[in-house]
Structure 1
């Protein structure tokens, strides 16, 4: 839908989001309070303890594109908008986001926002942060630069290595509380993305020393890292309530402690013992019983999470016609129904596309999706055709992090492949998520590897562009398709949500032909909480709303 004029305030933006969010995850309660963190009692006794993982990268919003760091970044920073439990967007730092043409947006900020170092949050805090993230000179750090691609004047990953373009022409500071965003082409969905962490503001201290900032970030969110000593690497991070938080989300506890467990089993054992308050993952071995163990405190609800494994484009035997045949054969060799039923106790649903059923526009009948059906006879036939081009040798491996509870399903997938195709297949475990991601990021991993996507904002495009667009920050398999890129661009600039959905579905047809990743299943969020806490609610993309949780 093209707006003649859109004034995107809290209620108006929520209505606009509803166009995109039909069929989103179950609704939850939403506080109408306008109290701030400073209104909460802060005795230090009501600290919420949860599970997490050591961040892969320094705690800089535009440098964080994995869930371990993302959970922390979202607690430390506040953006122009935030998402409620259902995924609807509400203004936070923004007073309004206005547009006449869905191409140029005028952003007006609310008064009273400061960073935890006491400096004000201004229009420049956003514009300078986005320009830094889009600057090709910072591309090694700014992994989320893809999200600025649609702003006029973006060069980013398309520039020559070492080039510098510190200012995008599409960003203009009008005064301390006002700035404009001009896109390269109209995009009515653009405001919906502005709650994602790539668009968070940064204080002036960041630009003086980004490396030091990443170790002790200064934010404007609900919580704060009071001291660099509160981040005990590979152990836990302790966040305090930010008394200067100026938003409408009321904080109902005294802080957040995120423990970096070595395994889901350890986290679940601590939950049952009352040593941790809430966790967002249940070990495979306990999926059949956690409902009985926790009763009403067990959580099992749909979430915008997609699981796959990626086969790098440069992996031997997986390029050209041979690679296309082998990718199809592997996909058809996996018995997704059996794995999701037996291992996951139906807390997963076999994938039928590359996105999520909780996102508007999802379809289970995209042409080419039949490659996701278990078809062992066809799989053997395709593998033989590939062998006729170049005989297979060696072991097919899938890399994964052992601390994330992935071993059981990786073994089931590789067993299914081995039994169907008659080849050696096995998992390749890494001790920690950080170690695993380092090899993936450095392109030093020697086989396929597990991949997944937890939505940043509720749109089909968010499951496609950041992962498969040429040069995008989370394109870990280095996939590149001009046809796919063009369809994504056309979807982003479509004049109506319906036209956008059509383009994004066509883009998935290209993915089903090329299979840069092998879709496996959609995830429910499975978790739970101890009898030490109340008011626990998980949001549309599986993260607990920590600020709402109260200690008994």
Structure 2
């Protein structure tokens, strides 16, 4: 097979906009849409939306202040170590990737001019010419080789190490060509290279007190756990953007305070709003919502290597104690869909629709807990506003437990330090996972035996072998079958309980334009700074 950059897809409004900007006629656009299976009536609707978006001409200038929901003194400018939304926002502003994902989840070219392969194992990456780093250095293949090899260096501590390990050979063919050899075929490589961790650095970069990237913004201020300020890169290689002169990004961990800052005009973008705030947002004419449903979720993690996760029946009982419907309706205010305890949401083409969630059955849960000798035992459950809606979810489960004599002691801890002090460490705690575009990435990061974010310490040799098989399979039918089996294994064997897939809602000033959904998450996959503008 040979991978070629995709210029458009039939159901991708953003790609149709691109074709319109290139000068394609309405007849040409409809012909392309119909060729991809889109009906004429649906095609006309797509063209109307895309045409309206193109008509909204970007305005250059201005400063935008945006607030995320979580920050830490461990915030970093090293893309390899990025783990929070604040890290991803900075990475997207100051650096670039070889590829990026469009609205339909298709890999498009960014620093790469093309990425091609004949067998899905050996890949050739052609780089765009004339791209420069912020310090004036010209981008070459050596920079890409250095950046990718860092993920293989255990001393770096890359969060993407387990994914990058499949790259067994990374070398420069010439100044603008990189050869990537994989241990086994993986047709997902162009998508993998679009992840935030695989930003490209200048060769030899070791100082991350500042950012020297090729990105749309220059890093003017970086104060870990406090704020970041970026100013427009006057030498940016893309024909369009960025439109803002500068942006400031920081975190307001308290949901109410973040909403109030938006309503008062102190900020123009408030990320990941709590569903409880949606009614207030809807009542304000000067603010709007941006809704993205791409597989984000908050999960209850029960470590399999610590009590009470080692007790037979505890996890099974908890599955039946979770009222998923109530969580979607009451906690998420309908902004989500019921989850089935595995990370591949219905937005992904490999989602297993036959895998049903555990039924809410308190009596069955009580029987299981009683048999395990756990009724009446006080069990700490750590929750925090840092993990979206986890406090409310914990309360729902706690109330259900109280009715059957199961004592769940919900311990609400501060957002500051949650990810370094409690996540992955506490015996029973909540996590929040941002969307990932492929099952391979999700499973490699979260469920493989050596996964860096293995939240419940799940380990299965069979699972690991299936992961490798699916990754290398070019048979889509077999690949789908494997991923369905792996989803069932996670849902029934791991200690991660996923009640719902959450719709991410960002709140915007009505003056903020250009923000679109993205499969990598809210805030346009955290890349908002490059693409939005402020309407006069």
Q: Give the shorter-chain TM-score range.
A: 0.7 to 0.9
Cross-structure match for 2:215: 221
The CA deviation at 1:330 is 0.4
Q: Distance in 1 between matches of 2:405 and 2:376?
A: 12
Deviation string for 1:294-328 (max 9, x for gaps)?
58722334223122111122221322xx34x1101
Q: CA deviation at 1:476?
A: 3.3
CA distance in 1, matches of 2:114, 2:147: 20
For 1:182 and 1:431, how far apart are their aligned partners in 2?
44
Matched-pair contact (CA < 8 Å) for 1:62–1:142: yes
Cα distance in structure 2, aligned partners of 1:404 and 1:310: 12
Note the C-alpha offset of 1:333: 0.3
Contact 1:309 1:452 in 2 (8 A): no
Alignment of 1:218-367 (within 5 A): 218-226=212-220, 230-294=221-285, 297-319=288-310, 322-323=311-312, 325-352=313-340, 353-366=342-355
Deviations 1:6-62 (A, max 9, x none): 152353xx66xx8xxx8x9x868755679xxxxx9875x333434353254422111
- Does the 8 A contact of 1:274 with 1:531 survive in 2? no
1:74-95 superposed Cα distances (whole Å, 9 cap, x missing partner)? 2221111112233222111111
Moved more, 275-284 or 462-471: 275-284
Q: Which residue of structure 2 aligns with residue 51 of structure 1?
A: 68
Which of 146, 171, 178 is matched with 2:162 structurally?
A: 146
Aligned residue for 1:316, secondary structure, equals coil
State the secondary structure of the residue aligned to 1:259.
strand
| CA root-mean-square deviation | 2.6
Aligned residues of 1:80 and 1:195 also touching (Cα < 8 A): yes
Secondary structure of the 1:8 match is coil
Distance 1:317 1:333, change over 3 A: same
User: Is residue 339 of structure 2 the alignment partner of residue 381 of structure 1?
Assistant: no
Moved over 4 A (4+): 26-34, 40-43, 391-394
User: Which of 409, 428, 446 is the aligned partner of 2:411?
Assistant: 428
Aligned pairs (5 A) from 1:509-520: 509-520=488-499
Q: Deviations over 1:431-460 (max 9, x none)?
A: 225x1111246x6x433121232124x222
* Unaligned runs of at least 5 residues, structure 2: 23-57
Q: CA deviation at 1:393?
A: 6.6
Q: Cα deviation per residue 1:450-506 (whole Å; 9 max; x = unaligned)? A: 1232124x2222222210111122223322111111111111111133322221111
Q: Distance in 2 between matches of 1:373 and 1:305?
A: 22
Q: Which runs of 5+ in 1 are unaligned?
A: 35-39, 153-169
Distance 1:52 1:115, change over 3 A: farther
The one of 507, 510, 513 aligned to 2:486: 507
Task: Trace 1:64-79 onto structure 2 (pairs within 5 A).
Answer: 64-79=82-97
When the two structures are superposed, what TM-score results if normalisation uses the length of structure 2? 0.85
Change (3 A) 1:466 1:429: same
Superposed displacement of residue 404, structure 1: 5.4
CA distance in 1, matches of 2:315, 2:160: 28
Cα pair 1:330 1:417 within 8 Å, conserved:
no
When normalised by structure 1's length, the TM-score is: 0.82
Which residue is equivalent to 1:438?
420
The equivalent of 1:130 in structure 2 is 148
**Structure 2 CA distance for partners of 1:148 and 1:403, relative to 1, 3 Å:** closer
Take 1:28 and 1:273, find their aligned partners in 2: how far apart are those partners? 35
Are 2:511 and 1:532 equivalent residues in the alignment? yes
| Structure 1 counterpart SS, 2:431 | strand
Q: Aligned pair in 2 of structure 1 residues 411, 173: CA closer, same or farther (>3 Å)? A: same
Q: Secondary structure at the match of 1:70?
A: helix
1:477 paired residue number: 456
Q: SS of the residue aligned with 1:102?
A: coil
Q: What CA distance in whole angstroms lies between the structure 1 residues aligned with 2:179 and 2:71?
A: 36
Separation in 1, partners of 2:287, 2:420: 39
Q: What count of residue pairs does the alignment treat as equivalent?
A: 493
Check the 8 A contact 2:292/2:505 in 1, yes or no.
yes
